[in-house]
Amino acid sequence: MRTSAKEPVIYQLPKGMRLVCCQAPAEIEYFGVDTNVGSRDETSSHHGLAHFVEHTIFKGTLRRRAYHINNRMEAVGGELNAYTTKEETLVYTVAPRGNLARSIELVADLLMNSQFPAAELSREREVVRDEIDSYLDTPSESVFDDFEDLFFAGSQLGHNILGTAESLDSLTSEVCRSYLAENFHASRMTACYLGREKPENVLRKVQREFSDIRTEGAPLNRVRPAAVAPFNLRRDIDTHQSHTVLGASIPGIDDLRCDAIALVCNILGGPGMNSRLNLSLRERRGLVYAVDASTSIFSDCGLLNIYFGCDPADRDRCLELVLKELRKISMEPLTPRALAAAKKQFIGQLTVSSSSLEQTVLSAARAVTMTGRVRLRREVVDSIASITPDDVLAVASMLRPEVCSVLSLG
């Protein structure tokens, strides 16, 4: 399917796999495959499996040993990478232009033929254990996962992507191979490409290398998390700074209010120094080094987070200032001038971020995986431009202080 020469090109392959091509006049090429499976889809006895498979999928296939996998892209100056989220696993390459066939063949081999040798897994468990320890030593990062564990308690989303040092012992070669076979099949996969190559040429190469891709596997079995009562918890840890996350529930990825929510998030704690929370907590009072707002959007639900780090003695004062801003934005309509300025800034930020080739192609892959399409820039701009003061109040009401939960470490 192709809608215009400048738009991403999306193909539906015969076996159910999809391909999205983004053409760009670049001297590098990106290729990868995004698969609709993540830590949310693990069983309770195998927490950390999605992330562990992402680490060890590079450790050997029916055709290659770990060294040959690692060297395949590096030999031409390229890179092989991967990441895992709660709902996705993405394996991708970046290389100088002219190496697309090499990239596609390698990624296909990994996703179809990885064997997870026991000796390699034993070594990698220690690497992941070090990663877990490093993460636990960084409360400014771990507080987000701890908050989500509480916010989504009892659900598939309520556990850390990394798993635990203990759960790693259950992740054997057989468990990893079974997970790959059950979850990495065509109907869950979106291949993505960015570069100069014509989309039809990319399509031919993908069809050839993925001709034997699995077409059957386990169905997704995701259950929307039940709401939990708002909480306000403070955990004492040995750290010089207090780290706090405040959050509230927002809709999932296909909700029509997502752009208004993103605009509100940007007004409150976006990257600009003029965000309301930055002005209130840092610029005017010097209480924090960092304060920001962000969203975690899933297929059926979402979470808007506000984070700040401060001296433990200032935690309560900072929290009250945050709640004050939430009351204000949920009760006081923006003036036409203020709303126009917020829209202009937000659209400008999106334009700047679109200059990142890596972000462009990986975002396109995620969009097709989760929604079946890529929103064009003009659609997004038109949607943001149409937001009214009443729209802002409506979505900001989801962030009323009485519905928010809070977790502080330190």
- How does pLDDT run across 127-139, given as a tens digit for each residue? 999 999 888 788 8
For the record, the structure tokens of 153 come out as: 């308690």
**Three-class SS string for 354-391?**
CCCHHHHHHHHHHHHHHHCCCCCHHHHHHHHHCCCHHH
Taking the C-alpha atoms of residue 41 and residue 49, their distance in angstroms, rounded to an integer, is 9
- How does pLDDT run across 211-249, given as a tens digit for each residue? 999 998 888 999 999 989 999 999 988 888 999 999 999
The pLDDT score that the predictor gives to residue 1 is 37
Q: pTM for the full model?
A: 0.92
Mean pLDDT, residues 67-90? 97
E-only strand ranges, 230-297:
232-235, 242-250, 288-297
> Lowest-pLDDT range, 1-5, 79-83, 181-185, 331-335?
1-5
Per the CB < 8 A criterion, the answer to whether 192 and 35 are in contact is no
Q: Which band of pLDDT confidence, cut at 50, 70 and 90, is reported for residue 6?
A: low
The pLDDT score that the predictor gives to residue 3 is 36
Q: Which band of pLDDT confidence, cut at 50, 70 and 90, is reported for residue 273?
A: very high
> Lowest-pLDDT range, 217-221, 297-301, 361-365?
217-221
Give Cα separations from 174 to 63, 89, 95, 131, 208 (angstroms): 18, 19, 32, 23, 28
Write down the mean pLDDT value for the chain.
94
**DSSP conformation class of 296:** E
As beta bridge partners, residue 233 has 407
Q: Exposed, middle or buried by CB within 10 Å (0-12, 13-18, 19+), for 259?
A: buried
Residue 283 pLDDT > 90, yes or no?
Answer: yes
For the record, the structure tokens of 293 come out as: 């707002």
Residue 62 pLDDT > 80, yes or no?
Answer: yes
